[in-house]
């Protein structure tokens, strides 16, 4: 808004003053300055994460059919292409069927966590240059790099033991950590070469991995044994060593071990399992929110004071059986993310068939968005939506963080689980060869 000014009528006498013509040297200097300013502006406008010439997408891992759908990371979340994550399936199956021990574990995965299906895609990320997808394949107990131009395997890393699980990529995109769930080990690999750069031991059945402090530390959450029918609280002691292991991400030396059993007991929740499932840190990493086995809700943990500060119970679906043995891998709720502002949480109520946005200040849930066995939750590329995988309906659904309402759904492959932000070449539409 302009401020009012008083004006006086006055007579203005114009005097024409000849302007000096700029010299050639001055013009050259001006042109150079303009070019420098333009270059600086272009540099500032380019992505700072090295993604120039790439497009941001989402990878959706279809666990049971061994594919990954590539969809837009915002807007209508339209499908862009599909990747075969098991192009070497015949070779891997030959190896498994010729090895009795491997075969026992392979069939165990199928009849346990796989709910009667093989688990071919658990987690996946893109390389910094957008040329490859790196994926963990539980039933094949490995991690592979798939060339996004040809669909061929660049490298393969067999994990220790007989099953690979959740992964995490370092903030600079150069390293990927993968849980080897039957050997209680996390392997850290060079994402470009597949060479191991470090490893560390964990509690029983390592699960979620998260890099913190700009990549200085790596957190692993072990969930213990989740495939037995000993789910009554009286048998909780049979579930094994469940803890958070924090290591230095350079030396892989243990920095801290957090057993949530004592923290939950101190908060008065001896009834809750201490198996930490999906987690979400606040942007400043001062608070950790997490889900635990058998619980329809979330737990808030203050990192500095090392204590539980709140527990939020979320609604139950009256149609969900109270028989714990019917809940997939001891999960009642599995999947959580936080918006970039850090004031909203998105929670996937897996066995209760809904997802909801929770206000972080009040821990009050928003509308319950009906969803079929939602198994994961992540954040859209523009930060405005939570994207959940509906593993029971073979689709992903976006929920607006501001309104808590569904804004889009797109069909994907068989039993989608992990959903991750990724980058591919700007003109990519799919591999050119199988």
**Quick one: pLDDT at residue 349?**
98
Is 32 within a domain?
Answer: no
Task: Classify the C-alpha dihedral 231-234-239-241 as positive or negative.
Answer: positive
CA 313 to chain centre: 23
Torsion, CA 49, CA 54, CA 56, CA 61, rounded to 10 = -110
Tokens representing 197?
């750069």
Determine the Cα angle at 384 with ends 221 and 127, to 5°: 55
Q: Is residue 2 part of a domain?
A: no
Q: d(Cα 303, Cα 269) in Å, to the nearest integer?
A: 18
Residue 356: per-residue pLDDT: 98
pLDDT for 257 equals 98
Residue 373 token pair: 């066995």
Instruction: Say whether 277 sits in a helix, a strand or coil.
Output: strand
Classify residue 302: in a domain, yes or no: yes
pLDDT reported for residue 6: 34
What are the structure tokens assigned to 225, written together? Answer: 């044994």
Q: Is 44 contained in some domain?
A: no
Residue 24 domain flag: no
> Would 403 be classed as within a structural domain?
yes
Tell me the pLDDT of the chain (434 aa) as tens digits: 333 333 333 333 333 333 444 443 443 443 334 333 333 333 333 333 446 799 999 999 999 999 999 999 999 999 999 999 999 999 999 999 999 999 999 999 999 899 999 999 999 999 999 999 999 999 999 999 999 999 999 999 999 999 999 999 999 999 999 999 999 999 999 999 999 999 999 999 999 999 999 999 999 999 999 988 899 999 999 999 999 999 999 999 999 999 999 999 999 999 999 999 999 999 999 999 999 999 999 999 999 999 999 999 999 999 999 999 999 999 999 999 999 999 999 999 999 999 999 999 999 999 999 999 999 999 999 999 999 999 999 999 999 999 999 999 999 999 999 999 999 999 999 997 44
Q: How many residues does the chain have?
A: 434
CATH number, domain with residue 395? 2.130.10.10
- The encoded tokens of residue 169 equal 């990529």
| pLDDT on residue 24 | 37
Rounded to the nearest 10 degrees, the angle between the axes of helix 100-111 and helix 89-97 is 110
CA dist 27 and 40 (Å) reads: 20
Q: What angle do CA 36, 41, 43 make, to 5 degrees?
A: 95
pLDDT of residue 9: 34
Residue 273 lies in a domain: yes
pTM confidence score? 0.86
- pLDDT of amino acid 240: 95
Structural domain boundaries, residue 227: 52-425
Q: How many domains does the chain contain in total?
A: 1
* Six-digit token string for 10: 């006055």
Cα separation values, 403 from 292, 362, 371, Å: 27, 16, 17
pLDDT at position 432 is: 74
Residue 299 domain-assigned?
A: yes
Distance in angstroms (rounded) separating the CA atoms of residues 359 and 59: 27
Structure confidence at residue 295 (pLDDT): 97
């Amino acid at each position: 808004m302009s401020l009012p000014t008083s004006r006086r009528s006055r007579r203005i006498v114009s005097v024409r003053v000849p302007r000096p013509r700029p010299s050639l040297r001055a013009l050259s200097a001006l042109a150079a300055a303009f070019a420098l300013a333009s270059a600086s502006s272009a540099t500032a406008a380019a992505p700072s994460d090295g993604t120039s010439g790439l497009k941001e997408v989402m990878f959706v891992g279809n666990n049971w059919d061994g594919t990954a759908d590539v969809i837009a990371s915002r807007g209508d979340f339209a499908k862009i292409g599909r990747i075969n994550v098991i192009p070497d399936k015949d070779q891997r199956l030959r190896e498994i069927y010729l090895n009795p021990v491997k075969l026992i574990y392979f069939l165990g995965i199928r009849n346990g966590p796989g709910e009667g299906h093989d688990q071919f895609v658990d987690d996946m990320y893109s390389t910094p240059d957008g040329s490859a997808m790196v994926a963990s394949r539980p039933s094949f107990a490995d991690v592979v790099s798939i060339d996004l131009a040809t669909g061929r395997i660049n490298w393969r890393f067999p994990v220790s033991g007989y099953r690979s699980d959740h992964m995490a990529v370092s903030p600079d995109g150069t390293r990927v950590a993968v849980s080897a769930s039957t050997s209680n080990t996390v392997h850290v690999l060079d994402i470009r070469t597949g060479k191991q750069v470090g490893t560390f031991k964990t509690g029983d059945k390592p699960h979620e991995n998260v890099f913190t402090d700009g990549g200085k530390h790596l957190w692993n959450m072990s969930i213990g044994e989740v495939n037995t029918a000993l789910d009554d609280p009286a048998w909780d002691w049979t579930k094994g060593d469940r803890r958070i292991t924090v290591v230095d991400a350079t030396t892989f030396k243990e920095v801290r071990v957090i057993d949530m059993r004592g923290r939950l007991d101190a908060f008065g929740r001896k009834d809750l399992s201490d198996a930490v499932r999906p987690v979400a840190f606040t942007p400043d990493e001062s608070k950790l929110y997490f889900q635990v086995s058998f619980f329809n809700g979330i737990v808030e943990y203050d990192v500095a004071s090392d204590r539980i500060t709140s527990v939020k119970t979320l609604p139950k679906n009256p149609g969900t059986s109270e028989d714990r043995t019917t809940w997939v891998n001891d999960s009642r709720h599995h999947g959580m993310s936080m918006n970039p502002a850090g004031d909203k949480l998105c929670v996937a109520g897996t066995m209760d068939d809904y997802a909801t946005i929770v206000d972080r200040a009040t821990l009050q849930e928003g509308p319950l968005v009906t969803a079929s066995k939602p198994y994961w939750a992540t954040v859209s590329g523009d930060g405005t939506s939570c994207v959940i995988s509906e593993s029971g309906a073979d689709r992903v659904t976006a929920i607006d963080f501001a309104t808590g309402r569904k804004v889009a759904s797109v069909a994907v492959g068989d039993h989608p689980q992990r959903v991750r932000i990724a980058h591919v070449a700007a003109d990519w539409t799919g591999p050119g060869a199988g």
